[in-house]
Amino acid sequence: MTNTALDFGMNVFNEKKMQERLPKATYKALKKTIENGESLDLSVANVVANAMKDWAVENGCTHYTHWFQPMTGITAEKHDSFISPNGDGEIIMEFSGKELIKGEPDASSFPSGGIRATFEARGYTTWDPTSPAFIRDKTLYIPTAFCSYTGEVLDKKTPLLRSMEKLSGEAVKVLNLLGKKDVYRVTTTVGPEQEYFLIDKEMYDKRPDLIYTGRTLFGAMAPKGQELADHYFGSIKTRVSDFMHDLDAELWKLGVLAKTKHNEVAPSQHELAPIFSTSNIATDHNELTMEVMKKTAEKHGLVCLLHEKPFAGVNGSGKHNNWSISTNTGENLLNPGKKPEENLQFQLFLSAVVKAVDEYQDLLRITVASAGNDHRLGANEAPPAIISMYLGDDLGALVESIIEGKDYKSHKADRMQTGVEALPDFKKDNSDRNRTSPFAFTGNKFEFRALGSSLNIACPNYMLNTMVAEELKGFYSELKDADDLDAALKALIRKVLTEHKRIIFNGDNYSDEWVEEAEKRGLCNYKSLPEAMEHYIDKKNVDLFEKNGIVTEAEMHARYEIELEQYSKLLNIEALTMLQMAKKDIAPAVMAFVKSLAETVSLKKGVSSSLSTFAEEQLLESLSDKLEEFVKKTDELDNAVKMAGGYSDNLTLAKYYRNTVFELMQELRSLGDSMEKETYSEYWPYPSYGEILFGV
Ligand code: ADP
Ligand code: MG
């Protein structure tokens, strides 16, 4: 029997392979770039390119691709072969440093939010040596950043890399000031937990809504949903477990540290969590994970749904972004240690996060906004659209004692005693879980839980990194000239926690009381993408990114336009799909059923006037009424979609889609679903929720 774990990293040009295949000096230079962000010269790149190519060709590759993350929300790739004519009608396989470093995909078909109109269509991809190259489908994949001819950022990776640099710089200054002179680099780490649905391909193929939009636009709830919670952590079905084994094997070959897998709350829903890595690699790996999930599902006759809300009435899918900061000396800066009350360094970094999350709560909300995630946030399953922080009993008590200047009494958990002799006792975690908080402290990291399942995690992470960097910069300038550093530190921590304690909330985030309370505290509550996105370009936010050199004001405006435009386009596709389903499938199906009912009534009456036609007539009446309403609502939606052509401003258009088109879609859906419940299943054109959710 083969052990797939032994193939870990097989398809990655990783450290070990670099060490084996590169001359010592080249390896050293490359490592400096990877670990310390030092720039790399062309002569080194030439040697690396050749070694990479040799390795790739030995492993069956004929092509290479610059792999990048444009604003479409998915990754992009353009494949070039290694071949080069050698003059006598034959070819050799070649790959230069220049080709490794720079690619030139045509930028004109990628969203640029207006940047393209004023500048050239030319775009460049640039090798990102900090994320290792890998092989997929006989192609060498090179992770790259993407920008326009004139240098405007057109992707999600570049701001992330910049924000990591920025945070490192600011954190190092603070740590050096605190006496940690051996720290020269600080890295943000991320472990993203990924939720997904797995359904049968045959069912999927019968649903235009799933095919075009990734979610069901109609569908009456099955008699059973998730109320028994019998799926969560339940034993994994063979077909799913085969898929998961295959998925792990594929991911391991690509160097992705896939670690945990289990069934989630909703039927057919599952989760995969990797072991954390640097934010940059975690982002690339999460993108890869989502792609490999989809491809692996196909091999098993399944479809992997990454939409945030594929099914109404059962939980949607999210992503938990576990985030922390650690030093080149191996210290996790968010680890409270044994005595957090004495650990001023920890308290300072904690304060930076608290201040950042409070001052830029709008940005954290904005970064998780999407048409799909709008179905989750604020619904009774996911964190609300209000951003707050959970610190747990222990840290909560510490923060309170600091603010009030009182002694701190540890709430630290002791040992867990099961009361069964045979079971070993163990140390409990310091805090229980608060599953309802959008931003929770979990021991030595923060878990940002409001992300939608399909989101590229580069965005939330570059925002987090930048806002924390900004706070650290402020802290440094307040502390750097202090005569008594200890006293200055304590005063600063106390001031910051006092000023920003409104963002800390340890209660139930799903309750109505919290919505009221949050409003009193002045926290923002943006319910949908258009409402949230409007604030992305607020002056405070533009200042944050401009001052820190992450993205420019022009780039932010471009991003703003892109997000709004994509939102409207998505809703338009959903509305058109609904209209098609309503007109071509649902209405005709109900008409056919109504006809058969009517025919039965008259047939029965022809046989004998004493035969009861009560059942048929009752159904006939109910469905005829509903059908009338349904057809009228379809017309209304049709007209509303046509009206959308009249708006040219992206924000107004997005709001129109949200407030008018989307509302009509909801109404049409509810009429359709109520007809589904009364229509003989032989007539209903689509597989039901029950068949889909319990079909694997
Ligand atoms: P849960 O959230 O269910 O309690 P875990 O505690 O196992 O799960 O962790 C969830 C994720 O957090 C994993 O991907 C793990 O690798 C990641 N994680 C753990 N430590 C860190 C860290 N220092 N930085 C970033 N992510 C981390
Ligand atoms: Mg978690």
- CATH assignment of the domain containing 54: 3.10.20.70
* Amino acid found at 421: E
CA of 579 to the centre of ligand 1 (A): 43
Question: How would you write 472-514 as a 3-class SS string?
Answer: HHHHHHHHCCCCCHHHHHHHHHHHHHHHHHHHECCCCCCCHHH
Domain region containing 85: 4-155
Residue 81 lies in a domain: yes
Do 469 and 382 lie in one domain? The reply is yes
Question: How would you write 372-425 as a 3-class SS string?
Answer: CHHHCCCCCCCCCCECCEECHHHHHHHHHHHHHCCCCCCCCCCEECCCCCCCCC
pLDDT over 70 at 380, yes or no: no
Do 270 and 329 lie in one domain? The reply is yes
Q: For strand 63-68 and strand 277-278, is the pairing parallel, antiparallel, or unpaired?
A: unpaired
More confident residue, 421 or 358: 358
More confident residue, 119 or 622: 622
Taking the C-alpha atoms of residue 188 and residue 469, their distance in angstroms, rounded to an integer, is 11
Residue 668 lies in a domain: yes
Residue 686 lies in a domain: yes
Residue 117 lies in a domain: yes
DSSP 685: S
Ligand 1 site residues (CB inside 6 A) read 189-191, 193, 273-276, 322-324, 332, 442, 444-445, 447
Taking the C-alpha atoms of residue 360 and residue 531, their distance in angstroms, rounded to an integer, is 16
> In sequence order, what are the residues at sequence separation of 6 or more whose Cβ sits closer than 8 angstroms to the Cβ of residue 423?
none
Q: Mean pLDDT over all residues of the chain?
A: 92
CA of 447 to the centre of ligand 2 (A): 7
Residue 383 lies in a domain: yes
Residue 116 lies in a domain: yes
Do 465 and 577 lie in one domain? The reply is no
- Say which ligand is closest to the CA of 445: 1
Domain end residue (candidates: 524, 551, 578): 551
Do 677 and 603 lie in one domain? The reply is yes
Residues 141/135, Cβ–Cβ less than 8 Å: yes
Do 65 and 176 lie in one domain? The reply is no
pLDDT at 512: 87
CATH code of 524's domain: 3.30.590.10
Report helix, strand or coil for 520: helix
pLDDT at 433: 63
pLDDT at 73: 81
Q: For strand 186-200 and strand 277-278, is the pairing parallel, antiparallel, or unpaired?
A: antiparallel
pLDDT over 90 at 414, yes or no: no
Domain end residue (candidates: 105, 121, 155): 155
| Ligand 1 atom closest to Cα of residue 444 | 23
- For atom 19 of ligand 1, which residue has the closest CA? 276
pLDDT over 60 at 118, yes or no: no
CA of 359 to the centre of ligand 1 (A): 25
Residues 100/49, Cβ–Cβ less than 8 Å: yes
- From the list 430, 503, 431, the residue with the least C-alpha distance to 467 is 503
pLDDT category of residue 154 using cuts at 50, 70 and 90? confident
pLDDT category of residue 40 using cuts at 50, 70 and 90? confident
pLDDT over 90 at 39, yes or no: no
Do 547 and 590 lie in one domain? The reply is no
Do 369 and 495 lie in one domain? The reply is yes
Predicted model pTM: 0.94
Do 654 and 628 lie in one domain? The reply is yes
- For atom 22 of ligand 1, which residue has the closest CA? 324
Do 171 and 297 lie in one domain? The reply is yes
CA of 115 to the centre of ligand 2 (A): 38
Segment 540-588, tens digit of pLDDT: 999 999 999 999 999 999 999 999 999 999 999 999 999 999 999 999 9
* Other CB atoms within 10 Å distance of the CB of residue 621: 12
Residue 253 lies in a domain: yes
| Ligand 1 atom closest to Cα of residue 332 | 23
Domain end residue (candidates: 155, 178, 193): 155
pLDDT at 233: 75
Do 538 and 586 lie in one domain? The reply is no
| Ligand 1 atom closest to Cα of residue 273 | 14
Do 137 and 198 lie in one domain? The reply is no
Taking the C-alpha atoms of residue 282 and residue 333, their distance in angstroms, rounded to an integer, is 19
> In sequence order, what are the residues at sequence separation of 6 or more whose Cβ sits closer than 8 angstroms to the Cβ of residue 609?
none
* Domain count within the chain: 3
Segment 210-237, tens digit of pLDDT: 999 999 999 999 888 777 777 777 788 8
Residues 357/437, Cβ–Cβ less than 8 Å: no
- Say which ligand is closest to the CA of 433: 1
| Ligand 1 atom closest to Cα of residue 276 | 16
Report helix, strand or coil for 11: coil
Residues 578/637, Cβ–Cβ less than 8 Å: yes
* Amino acid found at 140: L
CATH code of 575's domain: 1.20.120.1560
Residue 561 lies in a domain: no
- For atom 4 of ligand 1, which residue has the closest CA? 442
CA of 259 to the centre of ligand 1 (A): 10
CA of 127 to the centre of ligand 1 (A): 29
Do 251 and 369 lie in one domain? The reply is yes
Which residue among 260, 281, 322, 333 is best mutated to probe the pocket of ligand 1, counting the most ligand atoms within 8 A of its Cβ? 322
Segment 467-495, tens digit of pLDDT: 999 999 999 999 999 999 999 999 999 99
